[in-house]
Structures are given as structure tokens and as C-alpha cells.
A and B are shown apart, each in its own frame.
Chain A
Amino acid sequence: MHSVRVFFRIVKFLFKAKIEYPAAYLGGIVSQWLANGITMLLIVLTVLNFGTLGGWLPMEVMFLHSVWLFTYAVGSSFAYNLSRLFRHMAVDGTMDEALTRPVPPFLYLVATTFNIGYVSHITLAVGALVFSMIQLGISWAAWQWLWFVVMIVCGGIITACMMLICEMPSLRTRSRSPVGVFFDSGRNFAQFPLVIYPRVLQIIFTTVLPFGFVGFYPSQVLLGKQDGLLPQVNMWLSPVVAVLIVGITALCWRILSRRYESAGT
């Protein structure tokens, strides 16, 4: 409980520091709205032009893209800055600092590198979600709203953990992670229905790189669709995948932090 309090306290100070320069903060938010909003607009325009994408209607694709953006923002808020910091940690002494604080080192690192800039992605995604739901004429029961929350939380966890796992090797290599590209490139596949990809890629994005569970599979529960590999099973598996991937991330962190060697700075 003490650690959680410390976490929120650090995040509060980060937020205060950021809004010291309100124009710069707002400039950043608006730029992300524009860039991500235009990407979303172009995707919807593309699908509108052709009618459907792999059997998904334009507004269903917009819903999926919004979920993808939302979960990316949630995951990246916790993991983006940290994942980019791994390669510098031993050299600039950040890791030594974390190891000598009276809170768990991982929690300390996540708190001090928390990124509050993703509020732009989240607000845009929520707006687009509401718009697509109105267009689709969706009205959900209570359990479906609960599943929506579970989907976003689990999607955020899977995104954050994938990002951390792919970038963690740079803690040892002290340069760019050799497998970092699998996150950066792989996640982009998940913004569209997985069903448009060849079967081998669908298997990869359901197993080794489980980006399918970020939005595609769980969204099907809410949109009443059954696409892809074993949809009746996979559409419910996001929470299980999230728990598994948290375990793998913890294991990777344990191994790498135990073998950590300071640069002596």
C-alpha cells in the first residue's frame, strides 16, 4: 500500500512539473490529436471507399482502431519512457538510483518514467469510440460495459509488457534492443482486423506476439463477430494472456536485474 501511495505521489509531481509550461504541454497534446486523428480519418476513408475490410464495416474498423489506440496509450503511459531508458540505465546511473531507494526498484522506475502525455491519445480514442458506437447503434448490457473495461485494462497490460519484454535486452546490451523491432512493427498489424493477414501471421499474432488480444479478439465479444483463429475461445482469453505476460515480464526483469552490472558512474 505504501508503494502505491509513493507511486501516485511521484506521478503527481511529474504532472505538476509538466504543466509548469502549459503552452508546451497543450502544444504537444494538440499535435498528437492532429497526427493520430488524421491517421484514423484516413483509415476510415480507405475502408469507406471500398465498403469493407475483411468483412468489417468502416465503423467497426474505427471501433477496433480506437481500442488499439486506447490500449496503446494506457500501456505506453507506464512503459514507453522506461523502455527507452533501459539502454542508458547502467551508463547514467538510473538503475543504481532505483536499486538504492526504499521502494521496489521496478515500481520506482515505472513511477519516475510515467508519461502523462498520452492523455491526448486517450481522449481522441474515447471520442472516436463514442462516435463509432453511435454510428453502429450499439447499446450494451452491464456485463458488456464491464468487459469493455477488462478489454482496455488487459490490452494496456499486454501492450506495456510486450514493449518492456522487447526492449529489456538493451539493459544488458546498452544499445538498441535486437528484438525491439518486433514490438514497433508487430503492434501496427493489430490496428486492423487480423483476419486480413495470412494464416501464419494470424498464428504469430495469437501466440508469440499476442497483439491480437489487445483489440481484435476481445472486441468481437462487443461487436458480435466471430473472426480469426478459434474466435469462440480466443475472444475471452485477454485476461489470461495478460496474467501470463505479466509473469513473463517479471521473470525477464528478475533475470536481467540480478545480472545487472553498474558502469560505476
Chain B
Amino acid sequence: MTQNIKLYGAIISKSMRQFATYRTNIFAGIVSALFMLGARWALWVALFATGNAGDITLAETMTFFVVGDFVMVWMGTSFGDVIGEDNRSGDIALKITRPCSYHFQLLAERHSVAVIETLTKSVPIFIAAAVLIGILPPIGAGAFGLFVLAVLLGGAVYFLVDLIISYSVFWLTDYWYVRWYQRAILQLFGGTVLPLWFYPDWLRAIADVLPFRFVMFAPMEIYLGRLSGADVYATFVAALFWIFVLFCAERLIWRRVQYKLVVQGG
């Protein structure tokens, strides 16, 4: 365990050093983040100017996206690209024989990118939004604690869903498009682009029975105080149920993958 934590820290610090040498990437990340915030702000101001937002406020919506961005950079990419490339190049043979699990390596690599994206994307967006727009704080320390817990559960849901979808690369001749399926499903049922508050009833009902809302929407509802009391615990129970189901499915498919996997020599 201690060795894994050390390894996790080493992977992250190494990738940060590597990234810091490419200053253009840092510049591009910050400029792109600020552009995105500007576009999003203008869009929602224009929409709220119609006066048809119901009980949702502009501040809540902007907070949803700005704080939600911190959550999404830790999840937003797809394992499909990494696993697909490992499978194509044969590197997977080396990685699964290393003295730490392949899944741990995947997670550490993703988090190393997430640390950088947090610094170059989420933090500049948050500072700009807090200064120029005004971001709502969590409704209380307790709610913030529950929000962090919801984010961890959402992270587990995303990790498992992503793995299950990404394993399809072992059966495909090409893999670049796997991430598009995953992105599409998450956007439609996760409420990451348009909060589920604004969905028509029939689509909201479908999204509510699927696990994707736990990734960002449910934690943000807790942060904003739109979900409280027994509803929060019901959300946690539902998230844990989905984690159990997805974990069983993931283990089952991973076992099949290990039989399916053929690495050519060379």
C-alpha cells in the first residue's frame, strides 16, 4: 500500500515536470479555459435574460459548471485511447506484468494529467469566475463534506463505466472512436452539458434511473443545497448499488479480456 502511494506520487510529479517544459501547453490551456468560461457566461446570461428559468438562478448555473469543472477534469478523458494504444503497440504485455496492477497504472496516469489540467484549466476558470462573475460557496461545511463523498462515489462510477466501454477496444480493429460513444452517453444522461433541471420530464426520468448522473450532476446538487436530508442518503445508496453492479460487470468482462488478449511477438 505504502509502495503504491509512493509510486502514485512519483508518476504524478514526473508528468508534472514533463508538462512544465512545454510552456505553450500551459498558455494554451489557460487561454482555452478562459475562452470557454466567456462563451458559457455569455450563453447563460442571454438565456436567463428571457426570464424563463423557473426556480434556477444564473449564479447556481454558473457555479454548477465552474465547480463541476474541477470534478470533470479528474474524469473527463477516456481509457479507450490508452488501452487501445497499449493493445495495438503490445505495451500492455509489459504493463500487466509489472508489480502493480494495470488498473492502478491507468488511474495514476489519468490523475497525473488531471493535476495539470486542474492547475492550467480549472483553477484559472475558478479565479476568473469568482472575481468577475461570483461563484456560490457550498451551503455549509457538512454539505461540502457530503459533496466530496459524492464526488468520490461519482469517480468510482465513472471509472467503472469508462473501463467497461473501453474494454471494447480488445474486440475492435480501431479504437479512436470509443471515446465518442462514452462522451455521448455521459453528456446525454449525465447532465454535464445541460443540467438535468432543464431536461424534459421523459428524458429526466431515463437519466434518473441510469448511473451517469452520479458523476457530476448529483455532487453538484449536493454542493448547491438542491439535494439535502434523506435525498442525499438515498442518492448515496443508489450510487453504491450502481458501483456494485458495475464492479461485477467490469470484473466479468476483464476476465474475458484476459483470455481474448493476444500479444504478437517482435
Contact = CB atoms under 8 A, between A and B. Distances in A.
Given A49-B198, A178-B27, A197-B42, A184 B184 contact: no
Contacts of B259: none
Contact of A45 (B25, B48, B200): B200
A180 B36 CA distance: 15
A35 B188 CA distance: 9
Given A39-B193, A181-B31, A184-B32, A45 B199 contact: yes
Contacts of A39: 187, 193
Interface in A5-25: 21, 23-24
Interface in A25-78: 27-28, 31-32, 34-35, 37-39, 41-42, 45-47, 49-54
B53 interface: yes
Contacts of B184: 31, 34-35, 37-38
A32 B50 contact: no
A38 B39 contact: no
A217 interface: no
A148 interface: no
A35 B28 contact: no
B53 A50 contact: yes
B200 to A, nearest CB: 7
Contact of A34 (B28, B42, B53, B180): B180
Contacts, number: 105
Interface string B158-197: 0000000000000011101110110110011000011000
B177 A28 contact: yes
Contacts of A192: 39, 43
A173 B47 CA distance: 42
Given A49-B198, A175-B22, A186 B50 contact: no
B35 interface: yes
Contacts of A184: 32
Contact of B173 (A24, A41, A176, A201): A24
For the complex of A and B, list the 6 residue pairs with the smallest distance between their C-beta atoms, beginning with the closest: A185-B35, A31-B180, A196-B46, A31-B177, A24-B174, A34-B184
Interface of A: 21, 23-24, 27-28, 31-32, 34-35, 37-39, 41-42, 45-47, 49-54, 173, 175-178, 180-182, 184-186, 188-189, 192, 196-198, 201
19 contacts: A21-B173, A21-B174, A23-B172, A24-B172, A32-B180, A41-B188, A42-B188, A49-B47, A49-B52, A49-B198, A50-B50, A182-B31, A185-B36, A185-B39, A192-B39, A192-B43, A196-B43, A197-B42, A201-B38
Interface of B: 22, 24-25, 27-28, 31-32, 35-36, 38-39, 42-43, 45-48, 50, 52-53, 172-174, 176-178, 180-181, 183-184, 187-188, 193-194, 198-200, 203
